[in-house]
Structures are given as C-alpha cells and as structure tokens.
Structure 1
Amino acid sequence: MALTVNGLAELKSQAGADLGASRWLEVTQQRIDTFADATDDHQWIHTDPERAATGPFGAPIAHGYLTLSLFIPLFTELLEVEGVTTKVNYGLNKVRFPSPVKVGSRIRLLARLTEVEEVPGGVQITVDGTVEIEGATKPAAVLQSLSRFYA
C-alpha cells in the first residue's frame, strides 16, 4: 500500500519515512530478452539459457541496468505524490549490484525517504533503496535515487 501525500508541504513532512516493501516481481526470461533488445545488449549470460546454464551463475541473469530500471515501477507502489504538476527522475548518487538476479527470481524494493529538500520551484527527494531477491542473503541492488517534484 503506497504512502499517498498531497502537495509539496506534505511530502516535506515525510522526510525520514520508512516506505516499506513493494510486491514481489518475477524477473522472467521474456523481460530479460526484451531489455536486451531495447539496449542492444545480448550478452549470452542474459539471453542464452542453454549456455548460461553452464556459465558462472548456473542460469541466465538479468542485466544490472534492468534490475535498476525496475526501481521505478516498484517505487511507485510505495509513494504516490498528488497535487504536483511534474515528477522527474533526477539521477542517482550511488548504485551497487551485490548479487545477480537469476531468471525466474522474484525481487522487491525496500525504501526509505531519507531527505526532502527545496529546489527552485519544487522539492528534491532522496530515497535509499534495496532491491531484495527472495530467499537470497545478498540484495540485487543497493541504491540512492534522486527525484524532483514541481508544484
């Protein structure tokens, strides 16, 4: 269930809030192949299940940037900001991929709204996120994301 805030003032009041966990999302071979087509990255560890089965991970793995891109749909399950005109992805402060996401794995996002600061015409939020892999000891990704919201 997403935290819903209305307007910039209410968003500012949520600095430090634990946003909880998103739903689990299965990373399928079809999703990996579609991402490979979109990015023209067809490395065999992602797109050749037969060869990948005998490779270093024992199965095809998701591209790190695919895992990172899934932050957006998972994050929108955790925070909804209403009463603003524009929402933009401003960038990342840091990203690490401690563990690969094997095909068929399920991932979810845990997030904390660590900072909300004013910028001209709006606010910038900093979100600390961890993309967990179901049943794994290490996360798939650890990141700090920046987004801007304008009135």
Structure 2
Amino acid sequence: MDRRSFVCAAIAGLALPALVRPAFAETPSLRFRDLYSRGMELAPETAALDGAQIAMTGYMAPPLKPEVGFFVLTKLPMATCPFCNDAADWPTDLVVAYAADPIDVVRFSTLIRVEGQFETGFKTDADTGFVSFLRLMNVTYNRA
C-alpha cells in the first residue's frame, strides 16, 4: 500500500463513524428536574421532546386498583397514589406512564427506568377521568 492509499484509508476510517449512526443508540433520558423552567411552564427542551421516544428514571406510585394499564411515575417514592387531583392541582414531579397491557406493580420504593413516547398537554383519560399533563405512552420498564 502506497502512502496516498494509506492516508485515504485512514481518513475514510475516521469519517465513517460520523456518517453511520449505530442501531443500538441509547434512548435520550429526561430528568424530573429538567421538566419545567418555572412553575408549570415547560422547559423549552422538554416541550421539544413531545412525540419523541425517551427514558425516565423514578418510582412507581401504587395504582388505585389492580389490573390497570397505567401508573404514575414519581420523582420520589410515594406510598399512596398522587393522581387524584384536577389540572389546577397537578404536581410538577409526576408523569403518567401508559402500558399496552396491565402493569406488573413494583414496590413503591424500587427505582425503575421507564421508556416510552413522550406526550405533553392536558388530557383526560376516557376510562378513569384522571387528568394528566405529561405522559409516556406504550411504556416498558425495569429496575434501574
């Protein structure tokens, strides 16, 4: 291999990783502390994630009844369900996580990592009447 071929191969080898995105790229994470900029005003970075696949780490609040397809993801462990308020009382450290199937409840003090499609904006659940502002749809979760 002559010097010119070696230099061209080296440059191509350095440029290739920048051109090819790996199939196993990690899902972007969103932290509770980064949700809002002031009060109930979403941070611009958070609003920009609407519709994106993201991951969050937190705690599963106990559901109101067994065999439900959603749970409340909280910043801190909560022994009771915090999801009984209307939009005016919505806490800033909650995200509702909807699963395709009934959820397997984990202990409220177990840290979990949840992945799903992020949605923003007030929405009332047709089955329960619960109001949510931030949601993760089609979630998967496991111990963090």
TM over 0.5: no
**Greater fraction of residues in strand:** 1
Rg comparison, structure with higher value: 2
Range into which the TM-score falls when normalised by the shorter chain: under 0.3
Higher RCO (CA-CA < 8 Å; seq separation 6+): 1
